[in-house]
């Protein structure tokens, strides 16, 4: 025994203190392949000199307690999710060697998409995929890799091609992806095979060490308990049942073609962060508001029209400028399917007091840019409120007698300026000039924030002025 302990690779803990009970033995059944695979991994970790930087992921399955044994960083994760966890572990610690240890139920069934996606992204991780053709831990149920005709707890009559389909060939499947770098299948099946498994594992880890990308070794492994086979017969069982279906060997190796890549991160100064977040903005100029002097104070404004008429950006113009002039402002759009083809609307509140509800049933101001909006929302305008509408497009007249009504031929004016789509800005110009709610210069100042296409900013400034001039004629 003493000799055995001396020979234990350094990748293993000297004593398995995390394991309840006996700290010298493993929790695996006699003849279980997991123990041998652990040993190969522990030796490789030692020989490759990566022990300090290795993080091993314990999956859900019989190897849930991988962390009992390895003197490395350890993390236990949810069933099948190890590749996703590994993805982030590696990205957060690019210098770490991240090993995802998974069974066939874990990797090929519940975690099927996670392994596929991580492999396809070419994550710089190493996966050890233990294919024992069964769910060992939960009592010998069918795995995606169980063999045709194989009797398991959930296929008591044998795996049926027409019910469960054929056993899944995982390395072949992943080899069809462009993302992975190194994929191989080997077996733990006696001395004849162990050297090849050892080499495969080292190649896979070296692939990660060299910055070459995703590597995985599928290892056929005995589960005498799950198969209900005597441990001494298990290699013969594998030879007879597994090898015909699961060919050993490298299925993909593009290490030579891959440029080494090591992710690095820059540390930015506080000033650089602020700058990169577009938060380094100059102090705006202030233009005195006439809000209190007019009867149009603290308005809630509804702007409505077709999607594409610039309804939302007209609202954003008002709100942006309002903010810069020291007002409380809010802007809220109708969102989702309503915006596709149908009417789009938004609410803008400008106020000298904190804004409660950002939407109101009865807005003080309605700007209607198409007929459906006028017909739908006219009745809602607060008595004494203001209704503005695009009289070029809307061929009916508003009906209310208890509100102020401004007909603005905004689309015609925009056409005269050479761009139909600036009717929204013209309407905003008319509104601010007519109500005196803020200086047109305030809108002009923040126009670039609301206009996405920068080459249109100047044209919109013109449109704004056209609106202001129109208001003077009212």
Partner 1 sequence: MAKEFIKGNEAIVKAALLAGCRSYYGYPITPASEIAHAAAKYFPRVSRTFLQAESEIASIQMVYGASASGERTMTASSGPGISLKQEGLSYLAGSELPCVVVNIMRGGPGLGNISPAQGDYNQIVKGGGHGDYKVIVLAPNGAQEMCDLTMLAFDLADKWRNPVILLADGFIGQMMEPVEFPAPVGDLPAKPWALTGEKISRNNLINSIYLDNDELEAHVGHLAEKYARITEAEVRFEAYHADDAELVLVGYGIVSRIIRTVVDQAREAGLKVGLLRPITLFPFPTRKIGELCESAAGFLAVEMSTGQMVDDVRLAVNGRLPVHFFSRTGGNVPTVEEIFDVVRQHLSAAQPV
- The residue (of 12 and 135) whose beta carbon lies closer to ligand TPP is 135
Q: Per CB under 5 A, does 444 bind Mg ion?
A: no
Query: Contact at 8 Å (CB) between 248 and 186?
Result: yes
Q: Per CB under 5 A, does 123 bind Mg ion?
A: no
Residues 91-150 that bind partner 1 (CB under 8 A): 91-93, 95-98, 113-114, 116-117
| Cα separation, 452 vs 278, whole angstroms | 15
Residues 50-69 that bind ligand TPP (CB under 6 A): 60-63
Query: Contact at 8 Å (CB) between 85 and 112?
Result: no
Q: Per CB under 8 A, does 162 bind partner 1?
A: no
Q: Per CB under 8 A, does 359 bind partner 1?
A: yes
Which of Mg ion, partner 1, ligand TPP, none lies near 18, with the C-beta cut-off 5 to 8 A by kind?
partner 1
Binding mask 49-88 for Mg ion (x = CB under 5 A): ----------------------------------------
φ, ψ dihedrals at 437, nearest 5°: -65, -30
Among 99, 118, 143, 393, binds ligand TPP (CB under 6 A): 143
- The residue (of 62 and 97) whose beta carbon lies closer to ligand SF4 is 62
Minimum CB separation of residue 74 from partner 1 in Å reads 5
Residues 77-136 that bind ligand TPP (CB under 6 A): 79, 103-106, 130, 132, 134-136
Terminus-to-terminus CA distance in the chain, angstroms?
Answer: 102
Q: Per CB under 6 A, does 218 bind ligand TPP?
A: no
Q: Which of the ranges 81-89, 129-137, 411-419, 424-432 carries the binding residues for partner 1, by CB under 8 A? A: 81-89
Distance, C-alpha 164 to centroid of its chain: 32
Q: Per CB under 8 A, does 261 bind partner 1?
A: no
| Cα separation, 224 vs 221, whole angstroms | 10
Distance, C-alpha 310 to centroid of its chain: 30
Give CA separation, 358 vs 49, 229, 251, 347, 351, in Å.
61, 70, 60, 7, 11
Give CA separation, 98 vs 17, 75, 92, in Å.
23, 11, 11
Query: Contact at 8 Å (CB) between 364 and 383?
Result: no
φ, ψ dihedrals at 186, nearest 5°: -135, 180
What tokens were used for 428? 């905003």
Q: Per CB under 6 A, does 32 bind ligand SF4?
A: yes
Which of partner 1, Mg ion, ligand SF4, none lies near 28, with the C-beta cut-off 5 to 8 A by kind?
ligand SF4
Q: Which residues on neighbouring strands pair with residue 330, listed in sequence order? A: 349
Q: Per CB under 5 A, does 106 bind Mg ion?
A: no
Among 156, 295, 336, 383, binds partner 1 (CB under 8 A): 336
4-31 burial, b at 16+ Cβ within 10 Å, e below that, comes to eeeebbebbbeebeebeeeeeebbbbeb
Which of ligand SF4, ligand TPP, partner 1, none lies near 279, with the C-beta cut-off 5 to 8 A by kind?
partner 1
Q: Per CB under 8 A, does 85 bind partner 1?
A: yes
Minimum CB separation of residue 201 from Mg ion in Å reads 18
Q: Per CB under 6 A, does 144 bind ligand TPP?
A: no
Among 28, 65, 68, 431, binds ligand SF4 (CB under 6 A): 28
Residue appearing with tokens 């044998």: 158
| Cα separation, 132 vs 381, whole angstroms | 72
Q: Nearest CA to 127 among 88, 94, 95, 101?
A: 101
Q: Per CB under 8 A, does 84 bind partner 1?
A: yes
Helix runs in 153-253, H state only: 161-164, 170-175, 191-209, 224-227, 234-237
Size of the site for partner 1 (CB under 8 A): 71
Among 176, 265, 395, 472, binds partner 1 (CB under 8 A): 265
| Cα separation, 249 vs 199, whole angstroms | 11
Q: Per CB under 6 A, does 224 bind ligand SF4?
A: yes
- The residue (of 72 and 460) whose beta carbon lies closer to partner 1 is 72
Contact residues for ligand TPP (CB under 6 A)?
Answer: 60-63, 79, 103-106, 130, 132, 134-138, 143
Contact residues for ligand SF4 (CB under 6 A)?
Answer: 28-29, 32, 34, 62, 132, 136-137, 223-226
Contact residues for Mg ion (CB under 5 A)?
Answer: 103-104, 132
């Amino acid at each position: 025994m003493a000799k055995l302990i001396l020979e234990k690779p350094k990748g293993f803990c000297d004593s398995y203190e995390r394991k309840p009970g006996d700290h010298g033995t493993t929790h695996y059944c006699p003849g279980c392949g997991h123990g041998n695979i652990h040993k190969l991994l522990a030796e490789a970790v030692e020989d490759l000199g990566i022990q300090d930087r290795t993080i091993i992921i314990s999956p859900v399955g019989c190897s849930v307690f991988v962390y009992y044994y390895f003197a490395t960083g350890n993390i236990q994760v949810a069933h099948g999710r190890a590749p996703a966890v590994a993805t982030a572990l590696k990205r957060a610690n690019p210098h770490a060697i991240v090993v995802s240890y998974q069974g066939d139920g874990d990797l090929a069934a519940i975690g099927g998409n996670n392994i596929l996606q991580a492999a396809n992204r070419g994550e710089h991780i190493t996966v050890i995929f233990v294919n024992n053709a069964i769910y060992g831990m939960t009592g010998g149920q069918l795995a995606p890799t169980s063999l045709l005709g194989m009797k398991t707890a959930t296929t008591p009559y044998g795996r049926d091609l027409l019910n469960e389909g054929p056993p899944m060939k995982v390395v072949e499947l992943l080899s069809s992806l462009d993302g992975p770098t190194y994929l191989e299948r080997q077996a733990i099946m006696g001395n004849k095979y162990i050297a090849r498994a050892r080499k495969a594992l080292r190649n896979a880890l070296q692939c990660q060490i060299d910055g070459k990308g995703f590597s995985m070794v599928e290892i056929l492994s005995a589960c005498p308990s799950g198969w209900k086979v005597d441990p001494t017969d298990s290699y013969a069982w594998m030879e007879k049942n597994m090898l015909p279906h699961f060919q050993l060997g490298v299925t993909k190796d593009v290490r030579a073609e891959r440029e080494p890549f090591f992710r690095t991160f820059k540390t930015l100064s506080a000033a650089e962060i602020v700058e990169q977040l577009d938060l380094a903005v100059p102090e705006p100029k202030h233009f005195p508001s006439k809000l209190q002097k007019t009867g149009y104070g603290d308005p809630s404004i509804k702007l409505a029209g077709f999607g594409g008429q610039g309804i939302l950006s007209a609202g954003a113009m008002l709100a942006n400028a309002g903010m810069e002039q020291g007002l409380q402002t809010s802007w809220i759009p109708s969102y989702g399917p309503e915006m596709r083809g149908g009417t789009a609307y938004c609410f803008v509140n400008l106020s000298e007091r904190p804004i409660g509800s950002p939407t109101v049933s009865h807005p003080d101001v309605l700007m209607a840019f198409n007929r459906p909006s006028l017909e739908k929302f006219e009745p809602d305008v607060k008595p004494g409120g203001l209704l503005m509408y695009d009289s070029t497009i809307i061929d009916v007249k508003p009906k209310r007698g208890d509100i102020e009504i401004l007909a603005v031929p905004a689309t015609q004016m925009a056409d005269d300026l050479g761009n139909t789509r600036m009717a929204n800005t013209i309407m905003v110009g008319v509104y601010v000039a007519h109500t005196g709610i803020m200086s047109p210069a305030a809108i002009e100042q923040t126009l670039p924030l609301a206009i996405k296409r920068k080459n249109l900013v100047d044209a919109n400034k013109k449109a704004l002025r056209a609106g202001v001039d129109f208001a003077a004629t009212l």
